[in-house]
Amino acid sequence: MINAKTYDYAIVGSGIVGLTVASELKKRYPSASIVIVDKESHEGVHASGRNSGVLHSGVYYGADTLKAKVCSKGAKSLMEFAEEHSIAFNKSGKLIVATSEKELPTLDRLLNNANQNNIRAQKVNAEEIKEIEPNAAGLSAIYSPDTGVIDSKGVVSKLRSLLEDDGVDFLWNNAFSHKLDDSSFVTKAGNQISYGYLFNCAGSYADTVAKDFGLAEKYMLIPFKGIYWKLTQSANPLVKANIYPVPDIELPFLGVHLTRVISGDVYVGPTAIPALGRENYGILKGIRLGESIQIGYRLSGMYLKNQNNFRKLAHMELSKYSKHNFLNAAQKLMPILKDSDLVSTNKVGIRPQLINVESGALEMDYILEHTPNSTHVLNAISPAFTSSFEFARFIVDSSPLLRD
Ligand SMILES: Cc1cc2nc3c(=O)[nH]c(=O)nc-3n(C[C@H](O)[C@H](O)[C@H](O)COP(=O)(O)OP(=O)(O)OC[C@H]3O[C@@H](n4cnc5c(N)ncnc54)[C@H](O)[C@@H]3O)c2cc1C
């Protein structure tokens, strides 16, 4: 054993969820000792450093969901954090455009969510769409003035440095390996950590860590690959802010969209292509045989069961490996886009999506499971970045040992 140390709180994962949970704990218990272990050499290597950087307003989520409870408040907290620490963000607004009659009822449903969740959003007609985004298509749209974009990497790196200043220990290159007993675990690098309370915020491996605690029995995280293209410099001015399609409300993905990110570039994407590795960022990169076989097996089960219309999703998304089909998805939002307007990028993210292995269904909301002294964040899907500060408050509040 290289080292054995005891902490009040141990957190697995230095993505936005682990970092904001640590920040919330420090706020409540300033003298508590906290360690964050991560298998990587620095913060935000996975989803938190590879996302679209959009601060969602919350119109997508029904009032009875946990996402609705934490998204819009989380966005506000994150904007305040950015303001306080001079991190770039821009409340640039967003249009969700309906391009066919059959999408109109979903638009009404989103507007209803907005009303119930107290989110500013208004319906605009085809003429008004053109005033906001002169090149966007659409019969009708929802305009959300409070949607923003932020420098996600800037957020996680600032959180890390503030936590370090507050005395939080970071143990890099230390993957959680297995539990030793109910209050200690070892890392693959051989360190032993004892804790009073543990938070599992391991992103795409949160299910495997939770299973070691006897939890997440009916779940598995399945990776979906998000590839982005970018508009060329000459096409860049075609988009003012953020243009999204009407989503399929049976699915947790929002569809290929156009986003003017904080650097001023316009990204087009991401896809949600079923992938064969939790970190399969390239064609073969990140593929590990045992893991891929397990994922392949689950994906074929989902295909057969066809919950959430999974077959349609799989066909549609896999087809987006072709630039032609990807362009078609973008042209639905902006018909004047042409093939030469899109350039490939190395921006790619993986969305770990929780699947109920019994039913084959995609879980749509955040899910927490607990033991008496640990909390496991199992489905930190989008908009977990936006929600993070408020979600962290909820996570700490709902942890059995820490409840009043
Ligand atoms: C392409 C894409 C676009 C997105 N767009 C948006 C958006 O615009 N707005 C938004 O709000 N959300 C968006 N999201 C979602 C958002 O990025 C995620 O919900 C959020 O980043 C999840 O944070 P996390 O901390 O749970 O996971 P992660 O950021 O993946 O962090 C998990 C950490 O755990 C570590 N880890 C894993 N296993 C172990 C182990 N065994 N031991 C130790 N450490 C381990 C990993 O190294 C990693 O650092 C997007 C996601 C993707 C992929």
**Cβ(15) – ligand 1 distance below 6 Å:** yes
Residue 333 has a CB neighbour count (10 Å cut-off) of 25
**Is the shortest distance between the CB of 50 and ligand 1 below 6 Å?**
yes
Give a yes or no: residue 50 inside a domain: yes
The owner of tokens 């999974």 is 310
Phi, psi of 356 (to 5 degrees): -80, 110
Please say whether the beta carbons of 156 and 42 come within 8 A.
no
Q: Contact at 8 Å (CB) between 400 and 389?
A: no
Answer yes or no: is 19 within a domain.
Answer: yes
pLDDT of res. 249: 86
Give the number of other CB atoms < 10 A from CB of residue 368.
Answer: 20
Looking at residue 162, what is its pLDDT? 98
| Residue 322 included in any domain | no
CA of 42 to the centre of ligand 1 (A): 13
Question: Phi and psi (nearest 5°) for 36?
Answer: -115, 120
pLDDT at 403: 66
Supply the pLDDT for residue 267.
Answer: 97
**In-domain check, residue 181:** yes
Domain membership of residue 15 (yes or no) is yes
Which CA distances in Å does 127 have to 55, 133, 141, 147, 304?
Answer: 26, 10, 10, 21, 44
Nearest in space to 249 (alpha carbons), one of 365, 145, 351, 334? 365
Q: Are strands 219-231 and 266-269 parallel, antiparallel or unpaired?
A: antiparallel
Give the DSSP H or E segment for 367: none
| Cis bond upstream, residue 30 (ω within 30) | no
DSSP letter for 363, please.
P
Q: What does the block give as tokens for 279?
A: 């970190």
Give the closest residue to 380 by CA, choosing from 363, 393, 402, 358.
363
Is the pTM value of this prediction over 0.95? yes
In a domain, residue 56? The reply is yes
What spacing in Å lies between the alpha carbon of 48 and ligand 1's midpoint? 4
**Full DSSP string of 230-275:** EE-TTTGGG--SEEEEPP-TTSS---SEEEE-TTS-EEEE---EE-
Instruction: Say if CB 125 and CB 140 are below 8 A apart.
Output: yes
Of 240, 223, 199, residue with least CA distance to 95 = 240
Q: What is the pLDDT of residue 250?
A: 85
Q: Is residue 121 part of a domain?
A: no
Instruction: Report which protein residue has its CA nearest ligand 1's atom 42.
Output: 175
Widest distance between CA atoms in the chain: 68
| Segments forming the whole domain that contains residue 60 | 1-91+149-218+364-404
pLDDT at 215: 98
Protein residue with its CA nearest to atom 3 in ligand 1: 51
The CB of 352 under 6 Å from ligand 1? The reply is no
Can you state the angle between helices 66-84 and 384-397, rounded to 10 degrees?
110
Which CATH number covers residue 202?
3.50.50.60
Q: Give, for all 404 residues of the chain, the pLDDT tens digit.
A: 568 999 999 999 999 999 999 999 999 999 999 999 999 999 999 999 999 999 999 999 999 999 999 999 999 999 999 999 999 999 999 999 999 999 999 999 999 999 999 999 999 999 999 999 999 999 999 999 999 999 999 999 999 999 999 999 999 999 999 999 999 999 999 999 999 999 999 999 999 999 999 999 999 999 999 999 999 999 999 999 999 999 998 888 999 999 999 999 999 999 999 999 999 999 888 889 999 999 999 999 999 999 888 999 999 999 999 999 999 999 999 999 999 999 999 999 999 999 999 888 999 999 999 999 999 999 999 999 999 999 999 999 999 877 65
Torsion of Cα atoms, 112 then 117 then 119 then 122, to 10° = 10
* Six-digit token string for 96: 């969700």
Give how far the C-alpha of residue 10 lies from the chain's centroid of Cα atoms, to the nearest Å.
Answer: 22
Quote the ligand 1 centre to 202 CA distance (angstroms): 8
pLDDT of residue 331: 97
Residue 30 within a domain: yes
DSSP assignment, residue 386? H
Number of domains in the chain: 1
Nearest CA to ligand 1 atom 44: 38
Q: Which residues contact 159 (CB under 8 A, 6 or more apart)?
A: 16, 19, 20, 22, 23, 43
Write down the pLDDT at residue 2: 62
Phi, psi torsion values for 349, nearest 5 degrees = -130, 160
Dist. CA 139 → ligand 1 center (Å): 35
Ligand 1 centroid – CA 15 distance (Å): 6
What single-letter amino acid sits at 212?
D
